[in-house]
Each structure stands twice: as C-alpha cells, then as structure tokens.
Structure 1
Amino acid sequence: MRTGHHRRRRRIGVALGAVDRAVYDAVARSDSPLLDATMPRLTNAANYSRLWFAIAVGLVASRSASAQRGAARGVTSLAVSSIVTNQVAKRVWSRRRPIPDAVPLARVVRTPSSTSMPSGHSASAAAFAVGVGLENRKFGAAFAPLAALVGVSRVATGAHYPADVVVGFGMGASIALVIGRVFPPMSVYRPVDHAPRWVPTRERSDGDGVVLVINPNSGSGSGERIIDEIRAHLPAAEIVTCGEGDDTTELLRAAAERAEVLAVGGGDGTVAAAADIARLAGLPLAVFPAGTFNHFAKDIGCATVADTVDAIRKGRAARVDLALLNGEKAFINNANIGAYPQFVRFRERYEKTLGKPIASVYAMLHTLRRERPVRLRYRDTGNGDTTVTTSLFFLGTSVYETPGFAPAHRPRMDDGLLDVRILEVDRRFAKSRIMFSVLTGQLARSSLYRELRVTDFTVTSLDGPTTIALDGEIRTRCTTASFTVDHEGLVVFGSFERE
C-alpha cells in the first residue's frame, strides 16, 4: 500500500516538474522586445532588495502615518524573509538553477551560485508587499503587481523556474502574515458593518457660525499654521486665540455662548474640555488636530485640517460616545491609573524609528522598572469583587482594536461600551512573564492580563487616593472612581473614515 502511494506521489511530482519546465521554456524562449527591455532592469533593481528599500524611503517621506508604518513593517518582513529563504530554505531544497541557453542574450543576467528553490527575490517582494498592505491596503494593493512582475522577471531572465517563484511568493507572504499575527498592525481592516448616526447639520461653505478656540503655539507651533488655513478656507469663522496665562476652559465656555458650532484646536486634553462644554451646551463640535498625537481627531476621520474643513462645509456630523468620571468629568479617549500615559508616550516617541514592536518592549520595560504599582479592587460581573496590583490600568471610551496594551484605534465611536484592560504585576515572576509575553506578541493570552467590555465600571484604590489621568493630560485624585458611558452624548463633525 505504501509503495503504491509512493509511486503515485512520484508520478505527480514528475508531472508537476514537466509542467514547471514547460512553462519556463515558454517564457524563456518568448521573443518579446518588451521583455528584453524591462525584465533585466527590473530583476537587477530588485537585487539586494534595493527596489523595496527605495520604495520604503518614499513611504517614510510621505505624510501618511499608515504608509510610514507600512514601510517599517514591509522592511521588517523582507529582512526576516530574506534570512529564512537564503539561510534555511535554500539549504533544505537543493535544486539546480535552469540553464539559460534558451533565453535571449539581451535578457540574460548574472545569477548567484545558490540553489534555485525558492526564489529569494520573489520571497522578499511578497514579504514587502504584504507587510505594507497590513498597515495600508491601498499601497499594498499597488505594490502587489510590482512584486508579481519581479517574480516574472526571475523566470524571464533564466534565473529561476516558475515553481521557485511560486514557493518564494508563498514563503514571503506567509512570513509577513505570521509577523502580523505576533505584532498586530495598528490598522485592522474589517468590513464596514456599521454607520454612525448622522445628525442633520446645514452646510457652511465659508464657516459662518463657527467659533474656534486655539493656541497658536500648540502642536509645536502648528497652531499658527492651522489658523492660516482656516482663515483661507473658512473666512467667516471667528477665531479666538489663547495667550499665555489664559484659561482655555473659560474661553471655550464664552465661545459656546455665541457659537452655532464650537471648534477647538489642541491636544486631546483640550479637546476633551471642549467636548464636555459642547455636550452641555447642545452644540456640535469641530476638532482641528493641533496636538502631538490627536487620537480623537484621527478616530473621527479628521487627521488633517482639510478633513475638518471639508466636514464643516458639507455638514457631516454624527453622534459619538463620551465617558464620565464620577458622573462629572468627561473624557473622549481613555482614563488611566498608574503609568499607562507614560508607557504610551515612550512607545509613540520611539515607534517611528525603532518600529512599534521594539518601541513597545522598551516602553513596557521602562514602565515596569520605574513605576510603583497600585492596589485596586473592582467588581467583575459573575466573579464578584476582584483585587489586583497593577502599574497599567486602561479604560477606553468605546472598544479599541488589537488586544493587549497596544490599542490602536476605534472602529466605532458609539458602541456604548467601556474597554477595560488591566495588567497584574504582583504575581510570581510577573515582570519577566510580562516581558516575555510582549516580546512574543502573546500578552493578550497571558494570565496576568485582564480585559473587560462593560457599560459601567467602578474601581477603588485600596491604598487611599490615587491619580487618574483622563486623555493622558487631565489628572484628578480620588479613592473610588465610577466610570459611565454618555451614549451618543456628543455631536461632532467628521468623516469617520480612516486611511
């Protein structure tokens, strides 16, 4: 029986090998001036991955955050794929390269002395394209045909058989996807199955009725540029600038008394103050990104001034959730106990140069080594009162994508839920276990990690009053903190689409 199976597999292998060589001969013998002119140039450009590195430089130079993340992920996937392909796979599959005597002389290129299976050029091309696509699907889709052409060029120039290219594509793509599972991308693309609850708002082509409160020096000086753009595109809008010593909250309250649309330019802490005032005044809010990270603005689809201007002109506004601390203080993104804000600042400061995985490890190490943990008690539905000791407590307004302590963004802003994430640090070898989980991308599966989705949440500090940071900036001290959702409590202008 085994002999019969072996013979059938052998016959299948012989047949596939014959097809492989037949396809190679068909491509190699093709008389095409177009192939003669393009294929050698393309395959040489991909030598040592120069083509992909050049594209990565272009992506980094762009203003698109997802393109920059894609460049980092693409290069990382390419590097791992190159090592696995050239140092491991080629040693396992010993296959001679084709003899290029059937290839037109104009297309013949110098080939390395390594074995043929799999194609390293193809593996690197697929790894880069898929890696970029995990963060920015538009660029990933654009580079996929180029990656395919690199594979074709390896056959057309006589460097590889088609099967070598196919296996290379499979290996490169698989490696990029595995890295994506271990270190989830910031953007996880899901089918659009929910639309925000749009609010009828009139179009304001020149910005009439808009009162903007902004600090010209916010965002490392970007406030002044934003003011110039608004004056150019929304000339009827009233602009109130904050000077040194001014009370921004009082300026916002005064602006709300005469505004039809309250607009704000600043960081998430300033936006949260404006959101609370707009909520209480029953006014729609317009957010111009003038902070360092602008998380809320990005989640509502207003990553640039042009996005917000367009939403105001078209009258595109929808209802979103806010969260309240002890029924009073509103916040738009998240509340934190412990060192989470510092963890985020460290991670985001270094992730563009080190990449998000390495930056997360560095930020986690810094946090666990330097911060004093806090003992907390909370009610876990079905499990009664639970006590934990933690340095990292996160509570988000609406559910964030990606598990663990690297939440990326919110696919919905109106789900009526609080996203609670807690990391225990007082159990045996906790810090070493946490670091290992972060390094392997398995933190969400660790027994030290807790994640809840609730409509309200109360937590008590067992060591007396503790500091709670709202949106990373506003800080308050209390012993018991009750969090509730103000479901669809704010009307805000935006497109609610991410790049």
Structure 2
Amino acid sequence: MRRSAAIRPSPADHALQVLSRSADKGRLWWAVTLLLASRRGSTRRAALRGAAAVGGASTLANLVGKPLFPRRRPAADEVSEHRQLVKRPTSSSFPSGHSASAAAYLTAVAMESPRTALALAPVAGAVAYSRIHTGTHWPSDVAAGAALGVAVGLATRHWWPLPAQHPAETAHRAEAPVMRDGEDMLALVNPGSGDHAHDPIQDAVYAWPKATIVYPQPGLDIRTQLATHIREAAGQIRALAVAGGDGTVAAVASVAADHGLPLALIPAGTLNHFARDVGVRSMADADTATEKGAAVGIDLGEIEINGTGGTARRWFVNTAGLGGYPEMVRLREHIQQHHPKWPSAAIAMVRTLRRAKPLEVVLNGKPTSIWLLFVGNGTYAPKGLVPSARPALDTGLLDVRYLRADLPYSRARFILAALTNTLNASHVYRQADLPDLHIRLLNGNRRVATDGEVGPLGNEFRFRSRPSALTIYRL
C-alpha cells in the first residue's frame, strides 16, 4: 500500500478511479458481454461463460466471503485525497469483489477464446489494481479475490463442459476411391442451410468441379431424390457428397449407407454437430480427403418403426428421440442459433417439460412411464444434461437416456439434479450404453425424431447400432 501510495500523481489516477467505479456491481463486465456476444462462435460462448462466472464470483465474494471474514478497509489517509473514490465502500474489505469478478470473467473467457482473453487481460488487471490504487482494498484482499475468481471461472466447466477440440476417434480405416475433382460423384448442395451470407454452392464447385451437383427439390424427399439419381446413373456414381446442415447430411448419409457408397461432406449448416465429431471442419478438409481417398468406417443408428401404416426404417447419424425429446430438440436448435448449447438446452428442457405428457411404454420388456427418451448414435459425453460430443465413432453402442415419469415430482427433481450436476445420482434419470433398444407404446402412436427431423408415426420402435455402416472421407 505504501509503495502504491508513493507513486507520483498522473492522469492514470483519474483513469483508475473511473475504471474502478465502472466495475461496480459488474457493470463493466456486463457491457463487455453485450459487445462480445454480438459475434457468433467462440467469442459469444466466451462472453456468456464469462457472465455466468461473474455472477458466481460476485455472489460468493459479497454474500459469503465478506460476512464470514469481516475486515476493516485501509484508512482514508493511506493514499492521497485526489486518488480516493468519492463514495468509499463500507462493507468488509476481504475479499475484493471487483478482483473476483475480473479474474472470473478473464478465466472463463480464456477457456473459450484465448485471443479475446489476451485482449481483456490488461483491463482485468487494471480493475484489480485500481482497488489498491484508490485505497479501498489491501493487496491481500485483491489476491484472495483473484484466487476466488479463477476458481469460479474454472468451475463453470462442471456445469457447462467445454466443446471438444479433437475429432472423435475410430479404429476402422475404410477403402474409398480417390475422387479427382469429384469425377463420378453425386453431390447434393442445400443453399438454404446455415449462414445465408455464405453460398455453399461455391465451396462444392471449387472442391469437386467434375461432380454432378443437385439441389433439394421442393416437395420431394431428399432420400427419394438421390435414390432416383443413383438408379438412373446405372452404376456410374462412385461416391456421394453433401454440403449442408445436420438434417441434410443425415438424409444423404442414409442414402450412402443404403447403397454402400462413401460420403464426403462440407459443413454448411448452423451447428454442424456431425461434421465436428467426424473431424471435417471446412471445405478444404473435405477436398483434401477425397483427393487422397482417405476414409474411415463409422457406426450409424438404425430405427425400425412399426405402426398402422406398416414397417419403416430410418438411419440416424446423431440422435433420435421420443416423447418430449423431439420438441426439446427443435426448441434447443432454435435458441442455440443465438446462444451456447448448455443454456439453450436448459431453457428448452424447462419449457418442454412444463408442457409434456408422460408416455406409458414397455422398455426392453419392462413396463414404465417416461417423459422423454434420448438415443444417441454412439456413446456421448458428458453423461449429464447436455451430451456435447462423441469420443469415438465406432463403439457399436447406443447412448440411451430417459426421464422417468412414475416417481413423484420427477420433473422438478430432474431440473434440480441438472442444475446441481448430480444427474448420475438421480433416481428419475436413467442412462445406459446399449447395442439395441426395444420400446413399445401402450397409449397410442407417436412420431420419432431423428437428427432433428420428425419421422413417421409408430407404436413400436427398435433402435440398433450398426457398426461401420457408413464410410466417410476424413483425413
């Protein structure tokens, strides 16, 4: 404190006063959040994770730490009068709430966007030092607050897992033809997918100039459209390609699996879950893999649907579900266009469960009542509320999760367990990795959702994992 007080007067004195006041009640960080959240991607995720961290750090510092550790603030004569804040705080000095919020925000942002954190580091450091410079905190208050903030920032991963940084693993290399400029390739491009400011047609033409490029026909199912092209080509098509979002990719992947053709994909949707898991991040990745003939075999999920209209079959590359799950997926995908996955999933879950009706079912031979059913193609992680990514694409297993409706207050207990990240210990939530699942409805017919799309009605569903059912180009 004495060393800081001995610094000669300068314009920095006023600047640090203004900065310190701007951080009161986290106002500075809320403003930064609004600025960063205006951009999509990692910057937006960083902003929202930072805001969550500030909320937790501020609560712990001001409502828990200060009452537990009462401490006098530095005397007014410790620093020159021109440095002091006009309105000096009267709460306990230990720990520094401003430092806790600054450190929490910076730590949370760094986990999502290191470059953004690097730009914010001088601001966060100046906020923490300003509390010493203005004589409102002891250095040990600032150090304790910063340590608390770092801990809270890191703890956000407990509820909000970080996105996977590496593609899912598969031990199954697959044979696939080398596709020079896309010759003998049939590529479906969906111009309506993803960002309307970016045209996926240009990517497809650049990567595969010799490919036959088609577009979704209004009123015609993509599967039917591609199957017709393949039949008319009379064996001349050696690979399929797709540029679009997850729904489009899932439809083309099902045709590729049915006809035993390798698949190349350009991620051109809003979220691109499947492409991210596979490890194809851009057009360049897809182009390089097809030019080298590098491919792997991955599992697909299969559903056999029995209903009044007969038996139907569907492939799925990501997820399938029954009950409230299809509605929750639709709502989450809509919210997730503007917000990160974990908050989007939480909001969608609460809204869906509030309106859901229980399903009376026989699940693998056992009668039970459920609110919703999730089935993932492969084993997802984490095993809590938001299945974020697949560590492997060749497990031969389905990730089955459901919420029981036969226990008192099951929805409220589920939400509480989700908020406290204790779903694995909850009696209302069930998760298992299974090679297959048979479910029969006891109260009418329902539609199954596959990869975010609503499928046919049925009252009996058999889910299976089909190992290495799809060959996909990947380095």
TM-score norm. by structure 2 comes to 0.80
Cα 1:33–1:424 shift into 2, 3 Å: same
- 1:406 aligned partner: 386
CA distance in 1, matches of 2:336, 2:388: 13
Of residues 21, 42, 46, the one that matches 1:70 is: 46
CA distance in 2, matches of 1:406, 1:349: 16
* In the alignment, structure 1 residue 491 sits paired with structure 2 residue 468: no
1:221 Cα offset (Å)? 5.0
Of residues 357, 369, 375, the one that matches 2:360 is: 375
* In the alignment, structure 1 residue 277 sits paired with structure 2 residue 255: yes
User: Number of paired residues?
Assistant: 462
1:210–1:237 contact (8 Å) kept in structure 2? yes
CA distance in 2, matches of 1:239, 1:410: 31
* In the alignment, structure 1 residue 172 sits paired with structure 2 residue 149: yes
1:398–1:413 contact (8 Å) kept in structure 2? yes
- 2:308 aligned partner: none
- For residues 196-233 of structure 1, give each alpha carbon's deviation from its aligned partner in whole angstroms, at most 9, with x where no partner exists: 645576776854454311233345857x8111333345
Cα 1:276–1:44 shift into 2, 3 Å: same
The structure with the largest helix share of the pair is 1
- 2:94 aligned partner: 117
Cα 1:311–1:79 shift into 2, 3 Å: farther
* In the alignment, structure 1 residue 185 sits paired with structure 2 residue 161: yes
- For residues 389-412 of structure 1, give each alpha carbon's deviation from its aligned partner in whole angstroms, at most 9, with x where no partner exists: 112011101111223443222232
Of 40-49 and 262-271, more deviation after overlay is shown by 40-49
- 1:389 aligned partner: 369
Aligned AA (2:61): T
Structure 2 SS opposite 1:258:
coil
Cα 1:243–1:409 shift into 2, 3 Å: same
List gaps (5 residues or longer) in structure 1. Answer: 1-23, 380-384
- 1:241 aligned partner: 215
1:451 Cα offset (Å)? 0.6
1:56–1:72 contact (8 Å) kept in structure 2? yes
1:477 Cα offset (Å)? 3.7
1:254 Cα offset (Å)? 4.9
Of 477-486 and 335-344, more deviation after overlay is shown by 477-486
CA distance in 1, matches of 2:439, 2:128: 57
1:266–1:290 contact (8 Å) kept in structure 2? yes
Aligned AA (1:275): A
- 1:337 aligned partner: 322
1:291 Cα offset (Å)? 4.5
Cα 1:136–1:258 shift into 2, 3 Å: farther
After TM superposition, list the pairs within 5 Å mapping 1:87-166 onto structure 2: 87-98=63-74, 108=83, 110=85, 112-114=88-90, 115-135=92-112, 147-148=124-125, 150-155=127-132, 158-166=135-143
2:448–2:457 contact (8 Å) kept in structure 1? yes
Structure 1 SS opposite 2:37:
helix
Aligned AA (1:185): P
1:422 Cα offset (Å)? 1.1
Cα 1:227–1:447 shift into 2, 3 Å: same
- 1:217 aligned partner: 192
1:303 Cα offset (Å)? 5.3
Of residues 232, 236, 242, the one that matches 1:258 is: 236
Of residues 449, 452, 468, the one that matches 2:448 is: 468
Of 266-275 and 451-460, more deviation after overlay is shown by 266-275
1:134–1:187 contact (8 Å) kept in structure 2? no
- 1:482 aligned partner: 462
- 2:334 aligned partner: 349
- For residues 460-488 of structure 1, give each alpha carbon's deviation from its aligned partner in whole angstroms, at most 9, with x where no partner exists: 33346543222231513444433222222
Cα 1:426–1:273 shift into 2, 3 Å: same
Structure 1 SS opposite 2:394:
coil
Q: CA RMSD in A?
A: 4.0
2:190–2:248 contact (8 Å) kept in structure 1? no
TM-score norm. by structure 1 comes to 0.77
Aligned AA (2:100): A
1:135–1:185 contact (8 Å) kept in structure 2? no
Of 167-176 and 232-241, more deviation after overlay is shown by 232-241
Residue identity (%): 34
Aligned AA (1:130): T
1:447 Cα offset (Å)? 0.4
Of residues 406, 414, 417, the one that matches 1:437 is: 417
Cα 1:90–1:483 shift into 2, 3 Å: same
- 1:82 aligned partner: 58
